[in-house]
Amino acid sequence: MKAGTEPDLAAPEYRETSLEGVDHIEFFVGNARQAAHFYRTAFGFDVVAYQGPETGVRDRASYALRQGDVTLVMTAPLTPDGEIADHVRLHGDGVRTLAFTVDDAFAAFQDAVSRGARPVAEPHVLEDQRGAVRLATVRTFGDTVHTFVERAEYGGSFLPGYRDEFKGGAGAGLRLVDHCVCNVELTRMDEWVSWYNRVFGFDVFQEFDESDIATQYSALRSKVVRGGREGRVTFPINEPAKGLRKSQIDEYLDYYHGPGVQHIALQSEDIVESVDWLRRQGAEFLRAPDSYYESLPERVGPIDEDMQRLRELNILVDRDEHGYLLQIFTRPVEDRPTLFFEVIQRKGCRGFGKGNFQALFQAIEREQEARGNL
């Protein structure tokens, strides 16, 4: 075929922002060295990269941790001023950045901003001898941000500027971010659902209201938005609903001083093994009432796992029309009752444990009451 008769492959074409998945989750914390040690020993993560004064960075120290496809970054301020110190003073330790892997960070940023996202960092390139990574950042709920990471050919462990540093964790069988849950203020849930729809093309995948998620005292509403390649990015968005007493979402908003990430759910390939190991390492989990396990066989039907073992480890089970899931929730991982983790194993089920909300809420309320916040 002669030149000029070929289709023009270079012609610009409008396309949806392509989010490949969650690239990493960065926490701003008071003491990153200790936080990294906690996630390494209690959760089994490897420390894979570091930046700080030794690498020429003057204002922060950051540790990148990895397990399976999950990358967490712990960043602490080295000065009393600046965005990291401000974030920690207001929110305590918490999630600052939910980063997405993209194939074109500049396009993803321009796309998001043209659809109403507020820019935080214009597209820029970080480089070292191992290659280049293109990054750009936009703001989302509260002080949380989304960073687009285009790491095409980068050969280092995390990002340019970090030096590779390996301290092995034992591994807890955690392999993937299943979903990240955001708490927002009363009446703001629908605004953020439409924000994710407008900016990233996310659709509402499931929703829950007070009739699904309520106990005698407190209630919440939740809509689950999902998008990105093959629906790899899932964000349930919660708001408090009116109950007799304070919703757990209100308690979070009070202590976090605004909206933020409530929990990160990590998929395990074998939740019984994972939770057994995590418990022995000192991870602390919420306890379901004993009555939960008495009605469980009737509620979920036959499952592969030994019910007695699930009861000992306090693992919860739920079923939908596609299969079942096993899940468990940690207690908050800071002194403030804010961020916690979920460990989840899916055996076909696409839900989020609706059948466990009641038992879970009761467990959370027992803890809220012990803190004097119910």
Bridge partners of 94, per DSSP, are: 28
> Taking the complex as a whole, how short is the minimal distance between the CB of residue 344 and Fe ion, in angstroms?
7
**How many residues can be counted in the chain?**
374
Per DSSP, what are the bridge partners of residue 167? 47
Chain residues in the site for Fe ion (CB under 5 A): 265, 342
- d(CA 109, CA 104) in angstroms, rounded, equals 9
Between the two ends of the chain, the Cα-to-Cα distance in Å is: 74
**Of 111 and 342, which has the nearer Cβ to Fe ion?**
342
Q: How far is the CB of 151 from Fe ion (least distance, A)?
A: 27
The least distance separating Fe ion from the CB of residue 180, rounded to whole angstroms, comes to: 9
Q: Minimal distance in Å, beta carbon 318 to Fe ion?
A: 11
> Number of helices (H) and strands (E), helices first, in the chain?
10, 17
Name the token pair of 32: 């990153």
The distance of closest approach from Cβ of residue 36 to Fe ion in the complex, given in angstroms and rounded to an integer, is: 24
Cβ proximity to Fe ion, 26 vs 342, nearer residue: 342
**Cα–Cα distance, 49 to 24 (Å, whole number):** 13
Smallest gap from Cβ 292 to Fe ion, in A, equals 17
- Tokens representing 243 are 């109950």
Considering the complex, state which of residue 235 and residue 255 has its C-beta at the smaller distance from Fe ion. 235
Q: Which is nearer to Fe ion, 67 or 330 (CB)?
A: 330
E strands present in the chain: 19-28, 46-51, 60-67, 70-77, 94-102, 119-128, 131-139, 145-150, 163-167, 174-183, 203-208, 219-227, 233-241, 260-268, 316-320, 323-329, 340-347
102 DSSP 8-state letter = E
Which CB sits closer to Fe ion, 143 or 342? 342
Question: Which C-beta is closer to Fe ion: that of 61 or that of 344?
Answer: 344
- To Fe ion, the closest distance from the beta carbon of 25 in angstroms equals 14
Cβ count near 104 (within 10 Å): 17
- CA triple 276-277-278, angle to 5 deg: 95
Which of residues 123 and 227 has its CB atom nearest to Fe ion in the complex? 227
